C-alpha cells in the first residue's frame, strides 16, 4: 500500500502498511472524509511524522484524539495552529514548563520565560519531539469517534518500533490512557515519565511532575541536545 508518509517512517513502519487492519483502517478513513467532516485536514494526518523523522526522534509525547473543533487539529498532539486559542491542557503544560524550568527555559530559547501566546508546537517537533496521538483522525465535534478502527494498532506499532530500534528516547505519558502504553516500551534503554493528564480535571496532580527538566537532563546525560521548550 502506497502511504504518503515521511520516507524514514515509511521504511521503519513498512510492515504495518501491508497488514489487513491497516487496509481496513484506510478504507474507513477514506469513507469518513467523503461522508462527513473529519479533522485534521488530510494533508496533516501524518504531520507529526513529517516534522519529526524517525532518525530524529528524541522524545515522544503521547496524546489520545486530535482536537475535534474547526481549525484546531493539525496532526500534532496538544498543539494548535497559529491564531487558535490555546487549549486548557496546553495552557497547563506551559505553566508546568515555566514552573519547572523558570528563567532558564527562557534564556535557553533566547526569549523571556513568559507563557507563550501561540499554541503551535511545531518548534518542538522540529527538535525531535514526536507529538503522537493514539488516534490520528476524528469526526468534527465527536471525540473518540475514530477510536477502535485500527489507529491504535498503528500507533502502538510506532511506539514499539521506536523502543526497539532506538536508544535513550524519553517517553512522556500523561493520564491513564497514555500510561497504559508503558508496556510497549523497554524501560531498560529508554526513560519513561508518567503523571496525571494536564487537563483541568487532573492538573493538580500534573503540576510539579518536572518532566521537562527531567527530559533535558536525561538527553544531556546521553550526549544529546536539550529541548528548547519555550
Which one, of 172, 170, 149, 140, lies nearest residue 69 by Cα?
A: 140
Q: What is the pLDDT of residue 123?
A: 98
Q: What's the half-sphere exposure (Cβ side, CA atoms, 13 Å) at 210?
A: 4
Q: What is the pLDDT of residues 36-84, one digit of tens each?
A: 999 999 999 999 999 999 999 999 999 999 999 999 999 999 999 999 9
Query: Of 161, 156, 158, 136, nearest to 147 (Cα)?
Result: 136
Q: What is d(CA 96, CA 142) in angstroms, rounded to the nearest whole number?
A: 29
pLDDT of residue 115: 83
Model pTM score:
0.94
Q: Let me know: does 64 contact 131? Beta carbons within 8 Å.
A: no
Indicate which residues carry an active-site annotation: 65
Check if the beta carbon of residue 139 is closer than 8 Å to that of residue 67.
no
Q: What is the pLDDT of residues 216-230, one digit of tens each?
A: 999 999 999 999 998
Residue 137, judged by CB atoms within 10 A of its CB (0-12, 13-18, 19+), counts as buried
| Three-class secondary structure of residue 41 per DSSP | coil
Strand-pairing partners, residue 59, are: 129, 170
- CA-CA distances (angstroms) from residue 15 to 1, 55, 133, 189? 10, 18, 20, 24
**Percentage of the chain exceeding pLDDT 70:** 94
Backbone dihedral region for residue 142 (phi beyond 0: left; psi -120 to 50: alpha; all else: beta)? beta
pLDDT reported for residue 111: 42
What's residue 33's pLDDT?
Answer: 97
Tens digit of each residue's pLDDT (9 = 90 or more) over 123-133:
999 999 999 99
For the stretch 141-194, pLDDT in tens is 999 999 999 999 999 999 999 999 999 999 999 999 999 999 999 999 999 999
Residue 2: its pLDDT value, please? 66
Cis before 221? omega within 30: no
> What is the rounded distance in angstroms from the CA atom of residue 132 to the CA atom of residue 135?
9
Q: Span 11-35, mean pLDDT?
A: 96
Rounded to the nearest 10 degrees, the angle between the axes of helix 211-221 and helix 88-109 is 40
What pLDDT does 110 receive? 40
Q: What is the pLDDT of residues 83-113, one digit of tens each?
A: 999 999 999 999 999 999 985 554 444 444 6
Amino acid at each position: 500500500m502506497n502511504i504518503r508518509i515521511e520516507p524514514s517512517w515509511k521504511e521503519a513502519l513498512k510492515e504495518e502498511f501491508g497488514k489487513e487492519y491497516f487496509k481496513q483502517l484506510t478504507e474507513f478513513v477514506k469513507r469518513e472524509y467523503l461522508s462527513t467532516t473529519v479533522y485534521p485536514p488530510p494533508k496533516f494526518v501524518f504531520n507529526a511524522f513529517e516534522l519529526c523523522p524517525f532518525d530524529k526522534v528524541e522524545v515522544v509525547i503521547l496524546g489520545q484524539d486530535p482536537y475535534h473543533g474547526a481549525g484546531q487539529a493539525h496532526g500534532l498532539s496538544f498543539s494548535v495552529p497559529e491564531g487558535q486559542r490555546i487549549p486548557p491542557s496546553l495552557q497547563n503544560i506551559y505553566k508546568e514548563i515555566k514552573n519547572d524550568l523558570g528563567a532558564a527555559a527562557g534564556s535557553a530559547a533566547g526569549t523571556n520565560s513568559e507563557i507563550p501566546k501561540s499554541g503551535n508546537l511545531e518548534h518542538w517537533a522540529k527538535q525531535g519531539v514526536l507529538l503522537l496521538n493514539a488516534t490520528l483522525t476524528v469526526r468534527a465535534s465527536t471525540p473518540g469517534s475514530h477510536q477502535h478502527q485500527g489507529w491504535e494498532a498503528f500507533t502502538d506499532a510506532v511506539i514499539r518500533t521506536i523502543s526497539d530500534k532506538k536508544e535513550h528516547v524519553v517517553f512522556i505519558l500523561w493520564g491513564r490512557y497514555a500510561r497504559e502504553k508503558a508496556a510497549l516500551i523497554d524501560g531498560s534503554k529508554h526513560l519513561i515519565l508518567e503523571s496525571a493528564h494536564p487537563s483541568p480535571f487532573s492538573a493538580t496532580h500534573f503540576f510539579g511532575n518536572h518532566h521537562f527538566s527531567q527530559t533535558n537532563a536525561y538527553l544531556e546525560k546521553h550526549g544529546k541536545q536539550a529541548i528548547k521548550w519555550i
